[in-house]
Amino acid sequence: MSKKRLIVVGDRVLVKPEEGEQRSKVGLYLPATAVDSQAVQGGRIVNTGPGLALPELGDHSDEPWRTAGGSGREARYVPMQARTGDFAIFFKKAAVEITFDNEQYLVVPQAAILALVREHDIETATDDTDDDFPF
């Protein structure tokens, strides 16, 4: 018997939505206008895709003999800004609701994310040049 896995592709994130409260569990206040119009929603990111795929630098579409037989290189990606564990505020209209193993999730493109709340872990920080705001 095989165990199913949900794999997020591209520049999308899998979010466990937070429903119905103006103040999120991370202390972020969503104004009534945003909540009432259902324009934005928040939730915890539980998984991310690898990011946007980059084209191969040696791709010579006008020279098909150069790629004959395949290059054997691994795909390269533009890294995701969103990370597993972040709390995301995103445009609800861009989200797609899915059910997996009887749990409700939203699949959200990274471009629809407005803001991320990330717990800052001092022990794992490698330098002080982090461009995230300290709040």
pLDDT in tens, 54-76: 887 665 556 555 555 555 567 88
Beta pairing class for 12-18 and 77-78 = unpaired
- The C-alpha angle with vertex 49 and arms to 68 and 57, in degrees rounded to 5, equals 30
Under 8 Å between Cβ of 49 and 11: yes
Q: How far apart are CA 80 and CA 48, in angstroms?
A: 8
What pLDDT does residue 29 have?
65
Residue 83 lies in a domain: yes
Q: Which domain holds residue 113?
A: 12-54+74-117
Residue 33 lies in a domain: yes
- The C-alpha angle with vertex 23 and arms to 79 and 15, in degrees rounded to 5, equals 35
Q: How far apart are CA 21 and CA 26, in angstroms?
A: 12
pLDDT band at 36 (very low <50, low <70, confident <90, very high): low
**Looking at residue 24, which CATH number applies to its domain?**
2.30.33.40
Helix (H, G, I), strand (E, B), or coil: what is residue 115?
strand
Residue 123 lies in a domain: no
Report which DSSP code applies to 33. H
Q: Where are the alpha helices (DSSP H) in 24-109?
A: 32-36
Helix (H, G, I), strand (E, B), or coil: what is residue 27?
coil
Domain count for the chain, please give it. Answer: 1
Is the pLDDT at 14 greater than 90, yes or no?
Answer: yes
